[in-house]
Amino acid sequence: MTINKQRRQIVKMMGASLVLLQTPVLAAMNNKDKKPAKIVWVVLRGAMDSLHTIVPTQDTSYSSLRPKLARAFKQPLLPLNREFSLNPALVNLHQMYLQKQLLPIVAVGSGYPKRSHFDGQDYLESGLQTMDHDTGWLGRAMEQLQTNSKGIAVANSMPISMRSTDKVSTWYPSRLKDADENVYEALMDLYQDDELLLSRLQEGLNTQAMAGNETVKRRGKFVDLAKSCGRLLASDNGTDCAMLEVGGWDTHNNQDLRLTRQLGDLDKGIAALKDELGDYWQNTLVMVATEFGRTAKENGTGGTDHGTGSAMFIAGGGIKGGQVLGQWPGLKTEQLFNGRDLMPTSNTFSWVGAMLQQHWQLSDRQIIKVFPQHKAYKQMLLS
């Protein structure tokens, strides 16, 4: 392999993460091409318990399956409709629901047949029945866009969701101290004769400048990452797609306390994302999903174990929110999946496909290239 080819492969892997040192560089990138509507994909890693998040208040089996968890809420539940209420930690999401900017979807599943976190997350990100770690559904969707749009993953490395396209890069706040401006000037001078390295350096500097510097103080806090994500999407640099991820949802014990904290962080993060997007919120779609759900019955340590059916959220200024979607299967023993889990009644990828088709205007043929095994639902989700 030639030296030039090796160098270009390294640069491609590093992407915009080539330089993520803290710097006050001001970016000025103009892209006059028509941009598609914006999408933010949020993955909750660890299997969020949907029954403690979107509570089925009218299902009489709920309290018998969860005698401790059903009484654990310290604040009143936030009503959605006659059948469901939100966990009291989701105050901002509840407000979005009242403003018709949130769609909770109950009893969803990706179709993953087992209960392994890592495999389940890979399956959710790949969107393929046969797992392929080199391609993700969001990367394939971006390849279908006939624009010069770009995507960014707020992560240390490229997640599976955004693989299979060269339109995406990664950004994450650095642990390193602010670099002296002379360092960047020296690098710029060094790369003057290498167009690829020079462009990657400038892209990294621009991305860091637009994301802001305060995130390094609380590195990894979801609210700060979401805030930076909103800034990147609201900047005029052609970035129209982003991915965020949140760990810590594996609540085998002490679930009420842990999930209250997790949901509070998620709630504040989505609110911060909305605030930073400003006017762009009206044309932004946020999809939140997890790899699978948890057992309908609580365990002996105040938690729940790996399950099947779960829930997802769709948020945005242009959706037909203010309604709970999905068919509720019930929590009686005979209604549970394998007698223990919430039964999935709709597919995660079909909901995502519907959003891609309506929000990004992808055709049926394009959707098949994104999700070969799943058809997009035809229910109108945009206002």
Could you tell me if 36 and 225 are in contact, meaning their C-beta atoms sit under 8 angstroms apart? no
Q: Does residue 184 have a pLDDT over 60?
A: no
pTM of the full predicted structure?
0.81
pLDDT in tens, 59-118: 999 999 999 999 999 999 999 999 999 999 999 999 999 999 999 999 999 999 999 999
Question: Please, what is the angle between helix 348-359 and helix 137-144, to 10°?
Answer: 20
Residue-averaged pLDDT of the chain: 85
Q: What is the CATH number of domain 39-178+213-370?
A: 3.40.720
Q: How confident is the model at residue 237 (pLDDT cuts 50, 70, 90)?
A: confident
Single-letter amino acid code for the residue at 298: E
Please list, in sequence order, all residues whose beta carbon lies within 8 angstroms of the beta carbon of residue 6, skipping any fewer than 6 positions away: none
CA 272 – CA 169 distance, rounded (Å): 22
Q: Residue 23 above 50 pLDDT? A: no
pLDDT of residue 147: 79
Question: Which stretches of the chain are assigned E, i.e. beta strand?
Answer: 38-44, 54-56, 78-79, 84-86, 102-109, 150-154, 168-171, 239-246, 284-290, 310-315, 346-347
168-171 β-sheet, strand order: 168-171, 150-154, 239-246, 38-44, 284-290, 310-315, 102-109, 346-347
* Cross-sheet strand order for the sheet of 78-79: 54-56, 84-86, 78-79
pLDDT of 238-272, one tens digit each?
A: 788 999 999 999 999 999 999 999 999 999 999 99
